[in-house]
Amino acid sequence: MSFQVDLHDKNKKFVVNVDETILEAALYQDVALPYGCQSGGCGACKARIIKGEISYEYEPPGLSPEEKSKGYVLLCQAKAISDLLIQIEELPDHHSIQVRNIPVRVERKERLGHDVMGLWLKLPKGELFEYLAGQYIDIMLRDGRRRSFSIATAPENFRNTGLLELHLRHVPGGKFTDHVFNEMTDRAMLRIEGPLGGFYLREDTNRPILMIAGGTGYAPMKAMLEQALARNLDRQIHFYWGVRSPVDLYSSESIGELCREMRNLEFTPVFSDSTANNEGHSRTGFVHSAVAKDYPDLSGFDVYMSGPPPMIEAGKQVFSIQGLPTTQLYYDSFDYAYLTWPDKENTE
């Protein structure tokens, strides 16, 4: 048995079988929908059901009670039990953006901070790779597992350098990051799959932008900021970066350079350690609380968040109370996908 799925306002339809998720069916039929962890945790594949019914094998954690009450579902876990009319944003320029599985060479690696390593990956000569600022790739390991990392290079810069920049935090006991920090050499060969995810910079509005990163959530924000600079995006941007202490601002020179080049960019570091030196424009406390205090009315902003799940969930709840429409919130939750998909850990 199969059902028909209509994309509202898109004049596009596809068929989903009862034994596959809606996302699986869409991707198989080349319908480019946003997605991330595919485990129901990150919320990237969120869609609103206008008409019809779906079922879950289990209730995914990536939706707030408010989102559920408004008819939102996660397509990576939802299965159709009737014909459907859904509302979701397609990825732009999807005909040129294809998920690829390709070999890459580690051109160089560099310590960016006490627990963060930068990797610069070079693709084979003549290999095309199109992506959107904010998306991520999977590194395919020999045992069949994956590690997911955001691309820290803007597409415009990648076209000039041919290098993809990644930021890897050292996870104690993490087999892959242990290897990267202690054993991996320049010119090592890896295999990647991507681009992936529905987290990317939207350029079709004139609303001011708030960006909130936690830890290595800076990586996709860096790509977005570089893209905004390359495109001369004329919108005010306030970037908040939440870390434990000043030493955890692992790539402060890059954000400093962006601030010098972008007159429309304001940067506020936020330290969760209350004893941290908060001279200048820095703050202490939770990063989402700093945003909420500075902007009590969020109805006129586009908000981007990337980082650990607790930060994302706290921000979603508080920002909703302060008037932020769901359609103006974009986030990439660095979720623990292995909880439901043992072959894909997103913990490193």
Q: Work out the burial of residue 308: count CB atoms within 10 Å of its CB; fewer than 13 is exposed, 13-18 middle, 19 or more buried.
A: middle
User: Is the pLDDT confidence value at 44 over 90?
Assistant: no
The model's confidence at residue 279, banded by pLDDT at 50, 70 and 90, is low
**Number of helical (H) and strand (E) elements in the chain, helices listed first:** 8, 20
**Stated pTM of the model:** 0.84
3-state secondary structure of 140: strand
The model's confidence at residue 4, banded by pLDDT at 50, 70 and 90, is very high
Give the residue from 9, 10, 151, 89 showing the smallest Cα distance to 330: 89
Percent of the chain residues topping a pLDDT of 70: 93
Cα–Cα distance list, 334 to 38, 105, 149, 226, 337 (Å):
12, 25, 9, 21, 9
- Of 20-29, 191-200, 236-245, 276-285, least confident by mean pLDDT is 276-285
Contact by Cβ (8 Å): 266, 226: no
Q: What are phi and psi of 135, to 5 degrees?
A: -75, 170
Q: Work out the burial of residue 69: count CB atoms within 10 Å of its CB; fewer than 13 is exposed, 13-18 middle, 19 or more buried.
A: exposed
pLDDT on residue 338: 35
From CA 97, how far away is CA 32, in angstroms rounded? Answer: 9
User: 5-42: per-residue pLDDT in tens?
Assistant: 999 877 889 999 999 999 999 988 878 787 777 788 77
Contact by Cβ (8 Å): 169, 308: no
pLDDT on residue 319: 97
Using DSSP bridges, classify how beta strands 72-74 and 46-51 pair: parallel, antiparallel or unpaired.
Answer: antiparallel
pLDDT on residue 142: 86
The model's confidence at residue 344, banded by pLDDT at 50, 70 and 90, is very low
pLDDT on residue 119: 97
Helix, strand, coil in percent for the chain, rounding step 5: 25, 30, 45
Looking at per-residue confidence, does 100 or 299 come out higher?
Answer: 299
